[in-house]
Amino acid sequence: EAAAALEQYRAQLAEARTEAAQIREEARTQGQQIIADMKVQAQDESDRIVAAGHSQLVAQRQQIVAELRSDLGKTAVDLAEKVIGESLADDVKRAGTVDRFLNELDTVSADSARK
C-alpha cells in the first residue's frame, strides 16, 4: 500500500511538472508575442510621427517661401520705383512687375542649379 501511494505521488508529481513546463512554455510564447506586437506598434507610431513631422516641415517651408517671395516682391517694387523713378501704386501693375521679377529670378536660380 505504501508503495502504491508512493507511485501515485510520483505520478502526480510528474504530471504537475509537465503541466508547469507547459504553463512556462505558454507564458514564454505569449511574452514573445507581446514583445513582437509592441515592436510593431512602436514602429507604426514612429512612422506616424515621422510622417507628421515631414508634413509639418513641408507646410512650414511653403509658408516661409511664400513669405520670402512676398517680402522679396515688395523689396523689388521699392527698388524698381527708385530705379525707374515711377510709382507702382497700381496693384495690377505692381503684381505684374512682381510676378515678372520672381519668374526671372526662378529662371536664373534654375539655370544656376544646372551648372
C-alpha cell at 47: 512612422
Q: d(Cα 8, Cα 2) in Å, to the nearest integer?
A: 10
Tens digit of pLDDT for each residue in 87-96? Answer: 556 667 767 7
Find the domain containing 7 and state its range. Answer: 2-114
29-86 pLDDT, tens digit each: 999 999 999 999 999 999 999 999 999 999 999 999 888 888 887 887 787 777 776 5
Residues of the chain by 3-state class (helix, strand, coil), percent to 5: 95, 0, 5
Q: Specify the number of domains making up the chain.
A: 1
Please state the pTM of the whole predicted model: 0.49
